Amino acid sequence: MSYQSLNPATGKVLKSFAEISDADFEKKIATASACYEVWRKKSYAERAVIVAKAAAIMKEKVDEFAKPMTLEMGKRISEARGEVEFSSSILAYYAKNAEKFLAPVKLHPQVGEAHMESSPIGVIFGVEPWNFPYYQLARVAGPHLMAGNVLMVKHASCVPQCAIAFEKLWIDAGAPAGLYTNLLISHEQSDRIIDDPRIKGVALTGSVAAGRSLAARAGKNLKVSSMELGGSDAFIVLEDADLEHTVKWAVWGRMYNAGQTCCAAKRFIVVEELADKFLEKFSAALQALKPGDPMDEKTTLGPLSTESALVDLLKQVDGAVAKGAKVLMGGKRYDRPGSFMEPTILTDVKKDNPAFRDEFFGPVAMFFRVKDEDAAIALANDSDFGLGGSVFTKDIARGKRVASRVETGMMFINNISWSDAELPFGGIKDSGYGRELGNMGIQEFVNKKLVRTAHLEAPV
């Protein structure tokens, strides 16, 4: 039983699920493939009926979707509700805008006329993580189903009830059999589905190691892929920042979802002039957070998603300290049931420390003080990752200049608000390639076909 729903706040197993048999596996692929031949011929308006209905169901049943998320991976219930609502808005966004995004684009050749048209490519295989059990699914389902593709998704093994609920959502919305398929499959079956000629693309959100493995397999099969592989985002604080505003974002940016967010603020880079004041207020705000039942609205700190995630993070912190880093606060698990970790700040992380290049996926912040703006940018760019980042300054023009110089896929000025369906999401370097959401997100798995009409004599 590799798919297990376990409450990380209590350590109690809720339910276990068996992997599907090879016979069921083949049947599901065949059903999805047959569905594509019908779905691809539907008009945008016909597709939008199903996708908009799924959005409406999520909006109407927020608590029904939010509760299993909190029980399975520990997301605080208020955050869980917010994720359900955002997921609904993503589906609604693509139901409304897909036809416009994929409309033919007129070109202007020297002779005749030409245009680019977009068409679906087939069955897309998605591999998605546990940290946003619905949002991760909605941001592939909304665009790619509206584009005329169909989806088969292997979700994380620790959130099977969320995965099953999202598949049921499409059935309840009136989707044809095979339009969206949840796969409780093994890693071996996952490899086989990428090799299968009926699968035309691969979308992954996960670790760098998983990205390398799946991208290599997709490449071997000459299949298009998109990869979102996490990050170690810089949170740059310049000397003219609004300190109160900045600290609030620092706490949210590091502690939202118990710090288990790809584009969370992870490296706090503060100009010397403001460093001590920032660190004092940031530390005090983190210390004020209290662990508790994530189903309780009053809880300000939830558990990590699994016990193994907590154990791995504690080992990471210990390893950083062994190489010279200092623990300013935290660094240990709470003495209570469940997989709870103290908010932690690491300082004195030098370049020869492996932690300098690591991603800490949990409530661990690395703090760096720098001389000036140029030093902050240099440190921000000294990373194997390039997902997102932020800069805080009262001078917006200055903030834009800094944003342009930081090597990432996304930069935020005086905020870290990525939760808008219209904003493309993705990174560079070890953070992967491709974009999700916005106009760009629907372009990843479509054929861009050139059509030219011209009365031309053939060359002699």
As annotated, the active-site residues are 228, 262
Amino acid at 183: L
Distance of alpha carbon 335 from alpha carbon 338, whole angstroms: 9
Q: For residue 165, what are the contacts with CB-CB under 8 A and spacing of at least 6?
A: 65, 68
SS3 sequence, the chain?
A: CCEEEEECCCCEEEEEECCCCHHHHHHHHHHHHHHHHHHCCCCHHHHHHHHHHHHHHHHHCHHHHHHHHHHHHCCCHHHHHHHHHHHHHHHHHHHHHHHHHCCCEEECCCCCEEEEEEEECCEEEEECCCCCCCHHHHHHHHHHHHCCCEEEEECCCCCHHHHHHHHHHHHHCCCCCCCEEECCCCHHHHHHHHHCCCEEEEEEECCHHHHHHHHHHHHHCCCEEEEECCCCEEEEECCCCCHHHHHHHHHHHHHHHHHCCCCCEEEEEEEHHHHHHHHHHHHHHHHCCCECCCCCCCCCECCCCCHHHHHHHHHHHHHHHHCCCEEEECCCECCCCCCCECCEEEECCCCCCHHHHCCCCCCEEEEEEECCHHHHHHHHHCCCEECCEEEECCCHHHHHHHHHHCCCCCCEECCCCCCCCCCCECCEECCEECCECHHHHCCCCEEEEEEEECCCCCCC
CB 11 within 8 A of CB 4: no
CB 230 within 8 A of CB 408: no
Six token digits for residue 345: 């700040």
